[in-house]
Each structure stands twice: as C-alpha cells, then as structure tokens.
Copies of this chain bind each other. A is one copy, B any other.
Amino acid sequence: MTAIKNILFIMADQLRWDYLSCYGHPHLHTPHIDRLAARGVRFDRAYVQSPVCGPSRASCYTGRTVFSHGATWNRVPLPVGELTLGDYLRPLGVRTAVVGKTHMVPDREGMTRLGLDSTSELGLRIGQPGFDPYERDDGLHPNPLLRRKGGSLAYNDWLRAQGYDGENPWNDYANAAEGPDGEILSGWLLKHSNLMARVKEEHSETAYMTMRAREFIEESGDTPWLCHLSYIKPHWPYIAPAPYHDMYGPESFLPVKRSEEERQDTHPVQAAFMNMEVGRVFSADGTRETVLPAYMGLIKQIDDHLGRLFAWLEETGRDRETMIVLTSDHGDYMGDHWMGEKELFHEQSVRVPLIVFDPRPEADATRGTACDALVEAIDLVPTFLEATGAPPVDHRLEGRSLMPLLRGEAPQDWRDAVFSEIDYAFYAARETLGIDVKDARGYMIRTDRWKYVYFRKFPPQLFDLLNDPDEFTDLGRHPDYEAVRRDMSDRLMDRLTGRRNRVTMTDEEVIALRRDESDSGIMIGKWG
C-alpha cells in the first residue's frame, strides 16, 4: 500500500456528532462535509478520551488516554516526557503544524529541570505541542488574559491590517455585536448570541484559520505535511458573523433531550453539574433559542470554508495524496440533560463526528459508507502512523489504527468498549460535592448496549442504551443491574490495567532482553 503523503487533520471545537447533515441533522445542511463523508468513511460511534478541550486534544496528539498522559484539564501542562504526532512524523520528513487551537501548555518545570531552553527551537516545539510552530491560537482572548500574555496575537495583527482598530480587535469585533446605539455588546454573554458579530465574515476566525491552513500547505511545496486545522468554533463565545448569525430559527433545532426523571434522585455528580450556572442557564427558557442560531451558523460557516478548501485541494491535485480527517474534541449539551457545556458522559458530550477520507484505491470499497465500530480519539495517531508508513509505537500508543476499517475489513478482535474520563477538580461541581481535588475523577466505559461511569467516592452511573437511548434513566443504583455493573467494572479494570506504562521499551525489546539476559552470563536457578 502506497504511503499517504499529506494529512489534513481538521478539528472543530465543541461540535456535537449530530449537528452535521451527514450524521442526520435534518436542517443544518453541511454539504461539503457530507461530500467528504461520501468520499470517505463516516464513523458513527466515535468517542473522545475526555469531554474537555485540553485533555481530549492531548489524547489526539499523543495517542494516549488522559489517564496515561496526565494533562487532565485545560492548561495542565503535557508532561515533557510525552511524545506527540509531531515527534512521530518528523523523522519521516513530515512538516507538521497546528493552525488554530490546541489548548495545551508546555511543562516548563520539567523543561527547566532538564535544562531545556523554552525559547530554543526544541523548546518552542515542545510547547506547540510537538508540532512545528506556525499559527497557534487558542481562541479565547478576553482583555485581561491577552494583557497577561503580553498582548501579542497574530490574528489581532491581521485584523488591524484589515482596518479593525484597538488593543484587542478579537474582543471588540470578532467577539462582539453592536447595540442599537452603537454600543459594544460582548459575545461572552449568551443573550447576545443571536446578534451579528461586528467582524466581517471573511475576517472572522474561521475564515482566517482556513486561510492560514492553505498558506501552510502552499508553503510546504513538495515537502510532506500534516496540517492540524483546528477551528476555534463552534465553541463559545457563541457569536457568528453575518450571514451566519440568523440562518437558523427554532424550526430547525433538534428537540431538546431532557426529562423530569433526570431531576429526581439525580446522581450527585450529575446534580452538581446540572446546578452549575451554565447548566441552569441552558435549562432556562430562551437560552437554546438564542444560542443555537449562533452555534448552528458557526458550523455552517465551517462547512462553507471547508468546501472552498477541499475544492482548492482538488484543483491542485493535492486531494489525491492527502488523507483528510474531520472530527471534534467533544460535544455540547446545549440544554440537553439540563446541562450546558460538556464534561459528563452523555452522548451529546462524549461522542463526536469522525470522517476519514483516504485517497488510496485500497479504500475505494468503503467510500460513502458508515462504520459503527467503537472507535476512540486515540485511534488517530496509530492511523496517521500507518497511513504515512511510520513504524508502529504500540508500547506507547493506546489506540488502534483505523486502517482495517477504512479498507472494509472487520477485525474480529476490534474493541467492544470505549473509554473516556474526566478530572472535574476544576469545576464548581467539585466544591459543591465537597470532595478532595484528587477524588474528582470519573471514568466511562461504553459497550454496544451499556454505558457505565465509575466515580471515585460516589456510586456509579449506568445507562441502558438499547432501551433508553436518550440516557434518561440512571440504573447505577438499581438493584436489578448489579451483574451488569460488575461486568462493566471488569471491563474498566481491563482497560486500566492495560495502560501503556512501559513507554521506554518496546515489546520487541522485551523479548530481546530475555534472550540477551541468557547470553550475558547471568544464571538464575542453575544447580550445576
């Protein structure tokens, strides 16, 4: 099988699996992404390793669970000992870049301890994380945070060159609307979400990042590349430029999924999250009606830009040598389950779209098909390594290459459960629950039928996805389901004990060491 030359790894932020027309949304038409699905494989049961930006992304880059890589939340540094996609592909001569968001911070303490200058080429690269520095932008630039970071932001410089003035045009234009008297209305406030952003569409973040991705690809020339085009949207602040701000009204919304049952005898952790401000606000009348138009418009906008990018790749012939992957780092409750944001393990939060287009003839058999195998975000790195012909790294990587599925094979030993987890020490919910920072952990395991969540210090949650696909009925404490919970607990144990901790020695080296030991003159248990 010929190696893939380039990889376009597109991630939208906070994009629910069911907000694309190829995944069944009846009103939000995303024809360009749909066409990608028609040319590739649509994975219908793809899960993130943690329903939060930073840890989820770190798993996409390292190919390891959060349990293993340890960057358990946004701004928790990825330990300097972890390797990423960039580290794996660079030896092959692949130029790798992130264009947009990673939400990752470097392990400065670890770097200092190892004498690593964070301003050196290597030091800078570690902070990207592992990608070659190009156009990183985490997309959240309120004035206090921007000032704390020294005020520098490439997107702001560009906006100024387009005629947007001020210290922080991101804040004043991209993330703002205008009131009837010309006053600036902040995009941070949900009540403004259905207003038109002050930035022109062609100057918005989605347009800018798409342009920068194209520039990176063009600059790469004949050099193989991996472009991680990591859109900041449709993540909050929820505000869209015209014409995307008012394309969708209530008639085009998916119905809200929440039940009164969920408010009775609620699991303590879920109750604490439902009770956070974002949960209460998204459960209130009017919030979905105001926010969903922006959320859907931002998705529509991404689809339009991707359409242009895909067309350009085709025009230039690059599509024939480029694998294209589109996914998200997690979903968005949008008021479902009386929740806002993400963090917990309902499908709205933990399940994401995943489309993989492989241009090679070997993938012809699966074009336009859907795959319902249980796949995880950690499968991306092994997929990319296999696609580009890089050696496998299965003593470190915890996922599995999707390549057999892309060729239409159905491996008998494919996983029968997916895993995700949360470190919720960083939320008001932990304080409400009054538990120690170290105990604010939840671990999900989901099979074809069941979803089980183990919480430290609390009972588990259990949902029967066959009879309760909307996950309204928590069977975590129901006496009839003890055997199911036990089985799920055993699966979780298998998953945890299978963690790849021996990262410094390959399996082949283990076997060789045993042979080597017997050649070394060391004799154990020899009588004579």
Contact = CB atoms under 8 A, between A and B. Distances in A.
The oligomer's copy count stands at: 2
A100 interface: no
A280 B526 CA distance: 10
Interface in A85-102: 87
A72 B278 CA distance: 44
Contacts of A150: none
Interface stretch (A15-23, A188-196, A262-270): A188-196
A528 B70 contact: no
A503 to B, nearest CB: 6
Interface in A463-520: 486, 489-490, 492-494, 496-505, 507, 510-511, 513-514, 517, 519-520
Interface stretch (A73-81, A353-361, A370-378): A73-81
A279 interface: yes
Interface string A262-304: 0000000000000011111110100100000000000000000
Contacts of A490: 489
B142 A524 contact: no
Contacts of A282: 525
Interface stretch (A29-37, A106-114, A202-210): A106-114
Contacts of A71: 502, 504
B522 A68 contact: no
Contact of A501 (B68, B83, B87): B68
Given A81-B81, A504-B79, A148 B190 contact: no
Nearest to A116: B114
Given A115-B116, A189-B527, A79 B81 contact: yes
A38 interface: no
B80 A114 contact: yes
Given A188-B523, A527-B189, A425 B145 contact: no
A143 interface: yes
A122 interface: yes
B489 A493 contact: yes
A381 B128 CA distance: 33
Contacts of A81: 79-82, 110
Contacts of A143: 521
A503 B456 CA distance: 19
B438 A188 contact: no
Contacts of A67: 499, 501
A311 interface: no
A340 interface: yes
Interface in A108-163: 109-110, 113-116, 120, 122, 140, 142-145, 148
A526 B281 contact: yes
A437 B110 CA distance: 30
A67 B68 CA distance: 10
Given A114-B114, A426-B514, A525-B340, A496 B496 contact: yes
A116 B76 CA distance: 24
A341 interface: yes
A71 to B, nearest CB: 7
A66 interface: yes
A522 B190 contact: no
Contacts of A425: 507, 510
Given A115-B122, A143-B521, A190 B72 contact: no
Contacts of A79: 81, 503-504
B114 A525 contact: no
A528 to B, nearest CB: 4
A87 B113 CA distance: 9
Nearest to A146: B521
A504 B78 contact: yes
Contact of A527 (B82, B287, B519): B287
A142 B282 CA distance: 71
A441 interface: yes
A423 interface: yes
Contacts of A443: 497
Interface string A158-192: 00000000000000000000000000000011110
Given A107-B504, A188-B521, A281-B527, 4 more contacts: A71-B504, A190-B525, A277-B526, A280-B525
Interface of A: 66-73, 75-83, 87, 107, 109-110, 113-116, 120, 122, 140, 142-145, 148, 188-191, 236, 276-282, 284, 287, 340-341, 423, 425-427, 437-439, 441, 443, 454, 456, 486, 489-490, 492-494, 496-505, 507, 510-511, 513-514, 517, 519-528
22 contacts: A70-B502, A73-B510, A79-B504, A109-B504, A114-B122, A142-B523, A144-B519, A144-B521, A145-B520, A145-B521, A148-B520, A188-B521, A189-B527, A191-B528, A340-B524, A340-B525, A426-B510, A426-B514, A437-B510, A438-B507, A486-B486, A496-B496
